[in-house]
């Protein structure tokens, strides 16, 4: 699936093994492949959500909602002093949810993330994440994501001006 090979076409990506093996094969059906993918994704998510964050020295944290089909997932991404990115958590829900962000951030603290040191936290500008960050971190420096701001401004412009503003926005 990650290689953009659907479960229906999975068998076409396999090496030829002979007709007799194909007839006896049970692990290459679309249902078997789908079950294996779901189980692997669940294991990976469990590992991500339970990873020990003690000793992770972050200078920035990005918190945002990402849409996948009809689902919105809130993602927490940490950045260390070298610029390396560390996926920290992903939970399903709306970025406007007043309980989701506090729970997500408190979970990071419970897993060992040091919330007592100053950290730059980039959010989308909604009130719920700002409140959650202030409640969980001792010394956050909160910055509104500039891309979200540009999108919000562009969405309020008349349609005839949106194209020109979008071009200028890339030079900001």
Are 162 and 82 within one domain? yes
- What's the pLDDT at 166? 47
Range of the domain at 109: 58-166
| pLDDT in the model for residue 170 | 44
Mean pLDDT, rounded, for 161-167: 57
Q: What is the model's pLDDT at position 73?
A: 85
> Per the domain annotation, does 143 fall within a domain?
yes
Q: Mark whether 77 and 151 lie in a shared domain.
A: yes
The DSSP symbol for 73 reads E
Do both 33 and 90 map to the same domain?
Answer: no
- CB burial of 39-65 (b: ≥16 within 10 Å; e: otherwise) equals eeeeeeeeeeeeeebeebebebbbbbb
Global pTM reads 0.69
């Amino acid at each position: 699936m990650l290689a953009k090979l659907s479960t229906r076409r999975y068998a076409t990506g396999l090496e030829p093994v002979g007709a007799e093996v194909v007839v006896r094969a049970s692990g290459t059906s679309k249902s078997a492949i789908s079950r294996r993918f779901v189980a692997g994704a669940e294991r990976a998510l469990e590992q991500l959500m339970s990873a020990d964050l003690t000793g992770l020295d972050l200078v920035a944290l990005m918190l945002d909602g990402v849409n996948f089909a009809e689902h919105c997932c809130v993602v927490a991404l940490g950045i260390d002093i070298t610029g390396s990115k560390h996926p920290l958590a992903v939970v399903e829900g709306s970025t406007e949810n007043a309980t989701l962000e506090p729970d997500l951030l408190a979970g990071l603290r419970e897993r060992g993330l040091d919330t007592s040191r100053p950290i730059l936290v980039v959010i989308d500008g909604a009130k719920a994440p700002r409140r959650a960050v202030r409640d969980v971190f001792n010394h956050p420096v909160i910055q509104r994501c500039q891309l979200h701001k540009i999108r919000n401004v562009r969405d309020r412009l008349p349609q005839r001006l949106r194209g020109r503003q979008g071009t200028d926005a890339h030079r900001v």
